[in-house]
A and B are shown apart, each in its own frame.
Chain A
Amino acid sequence: MQIDIRNLSFAYGHKTIINGLSHTINPGDYLVIQGKNGSGKSTLIKCLLGINSVKNGMIFLDDDDINTFNKWTKFGYVSQNFDSFNYEFPLTVQELLKFSSITKASEHNYLMLLDQMGILDIVNDNVNSLSGGQLQRVFIVKAMLNDPEVLILDEPTASIDKQNSEFFYKTVDELNKQGKTIILITHTDSIENLNYTHILNMGLDLTTTITTKPIEGDEES
């Protein structure tokens, strides 16, 4: 999936958050979006996911205008803190993953993915009894379940410890090597050890800079 952002601007009322951003994300790219709180990272993601409607500028997803795009199963999304999910009602990990599976094949996939994530033993546990790290990995399995082409991760390690965070980034690297496009948002993490291909830096003064990781950086891993 190619994501083509063309001269995108976005404002909440009179306050401009994104000003004339253009960038193309190619299949297999690993884009890290960095910036301080309020720099527009989450706003950009909401635009890419069609949650914020794009009025100034354009976003094309595989040549389809985002305003008419409907193949959202090509995307997997892990939100920050999972605040939109009601994890207080009794629900097992297995139930969550079963009703999140689109096909029978993906329904059978979840055990393998849980195993890959090292959390197969919690399959029958209640979602509201899991630790932050376990919950994080369950939601990544949920996002991966239907084999999306693009995985969008919004500050994924905000609520987990260093050890889980390192394990998480290794998993993301692995997914990228398998050909998934990764879009990772972060404002605190040290990114030197990540195998990203591009960094999009968003400043509080509406400036955006895009840098490509040098080839030798890719070879380091």
Chain B
Amino acid sequence: MMLSFFSDLFQQDFMLRALFAGIILGAMAPVIGSIVTVRRLSFIADTLGHFSLVGISVSLFLSTFGFAMFLEKPLYLGIFFSVVGGFLIELFRRSYKNYKEISMVIVISLGSALSAIFFSLAKKTGSLYNYLFGSILTITDYYLVIILVTAVIVTLLFVIFGKQILSVSFDETTAKFLGINVSLFQMLFMIVLSVVVSVLLESAGVLLISSMMIIPVAAAMRIGWSYKSTLVISVVFSELSVLFGLWMAYSLRIPSGAAIVSVNIIILLIVAINKRMRDRRQIKKLDKLK
């Protein structure tokens, strides 16, 4: 089974596309996910995913009026609505300063309701399954280019503004004493996050986006000793999940997004159990020394 997977991987175009896309997304998702986790906004990717789905459903709805472009490339409106969702979260977050999660509940509810309405009006609820659970094996060349461009933007952003992004994320209140325009950076990050979420939508699906972003980081946090090490470990976990997930999806004929996230969860469990056992051994050692 493993051999046929590898031979198909380099012979079938769709497999190669899925591999490239998976590797890029596997690095990008935890990099963005680490910042989201530091900002204690782990729920945000889910929220933006639901709002991005509004764009997809509106695209399908508009395509029923003969606008073929919207049917072929629903991602544009997906990105647009995801960015709108990001702005709405920031807007509500300022009204409920001490209850960040309220803003997300409002936006996720609105996103779910609007998506349901437009999918229903478009009479194409069948395609909903793909957007809920994703399929990296069916992505096109065009989509691969979009992923590459997004990855370049994210990399540039982190290379140029890494210090500022970390300062604002770790401590919003004191970041302005470092000469940072905090509001501008929050908005900039929200826009980039919205774009990344929309790009992840097709491969991971709206229900699994935040898992790809957050679970590798959650596992890495258990064993990382610094920000840098946590980031590197999370990317390694994420890439392992992509590779094993692709193999599982191909071999077992199951949705790729679900397979990738399942591997992510298995890694998290192994790390958590291993950490607990190590801690217990250390406590026993200390007890013996006493």
Could you list which residues of chain A lie within 8 angstroms of chain B, going by C-beta atoms? 50-51, 72-73, 75-77, 79, 82, 84-86, 89-92, 95-96, 98-102, 126, 142-143, 146, 148
Contacts and interface: CB of A to CB of B under 8 A. Distances in A.
Residue of A50, A72, A85, A90 contacting most chain B CB atoms (<10 Å): A90
Given A89-B34, A99-B162, A146-B177, 5 more contacts: A72-B177, A85-B171, A86-B39, A91-B227, A143-B174
A113 B179 CA distance: 21
A89 B170 CA distance: 9
A86 B170 contact: yes
15 contacts: A76-B177, A84-B171, A89-B170, A90-B227, A90-B229, A90-B230, A92-B227, A95-B226, A95-B227, A99-B166, A99-B170, A102-B179, A126-B225, A142-B174, A143-B174
Given A84-B171, A89-B37, A99-B166, A72 B228 contact: no
B225 A92 contact: yes
Interface string B156-174: 0000001100110111111
Contacts of B229: 90
Interface of B: 34, 37-40, 162-163, 166-167, 169-174, 176-179, 221, 224-230
Nearest to B181: A70
Contacts of A76: 177
Contacts, number: 72
Contact of B178 (A91, A95, A126, A146): A146
B226 A77 contact: no
Contacts of A72: 176-177, 179
A45 B230 CA distance: 36
A96 B228 CA distance: 11
B231 to A, nearest CB: 9
Nearest to B222: A90
Nearest to B176: A72
B97 to A, nearest CB: 11
A73 B224 CA distance: 32
Nearest to A94: B226
Contacts of A89: 34, 37-38, 170, 221, 227, 230
B230 A79 contact: no
Contacts of A148: 177
A136 to B, nearest CB: 14
B210 to A, nearest CB: 17
Given A96-B170, A99-B163, A100-B167, A90 B178 contact: no
Residue of A76, A91, A146 contacting most chain B CB atoms (<10 Å): A91
A143 B173 CA distance: 12
Contacts of B225: 90, 92, 126
A80 to B, nearest CB: 11
Contact of B170 (A50, A51, A85, A126): A85
Contacts of A85: 170-171, 174
Contacts of A84: 171-174
Contacts of A100: 167, 178
B177 A73 contact: yes
A75 B225 CA distance: 31
The 5 closest A-B pairs by CB, nearest first: A84-B173, A90-B224, A85-B171, A92-B226, A99-B166
A86 B38 contact: yes
Contact of B228 (A75, A86, A95, A142): A95
B275 to A, nearest CB: 13
Contacts of A91: 170, 226-227
A98 B162 CA distance: 11
Contacts of A126: 225-226
Contacts of A98: 163
B174 A73 contact: no
Residue of B40, B167, B177, B228 contacting most chain A CB atoms (<10 Å): B177
A79 B174 contact: yes
A187 to B, nearest CB: 21
A79 B169 CA distance: 17
Contacts of A86: 38-40, 169-171
Nearest to A82: B171
Residue of A72, A89, A126 contacting most chain B CB atoms (<10 Å): A89
Contacts of A79: 173-174
Nearest to B38: A89
B115 to A, nearest CB: 32
A86 B230 CA distance: 15
Nearest to A91: B227
A82 B172 CA distance: 11
A113 B177 CA distance: 18
A98 to B, nearest CB: 8
Nearest to B179: A73
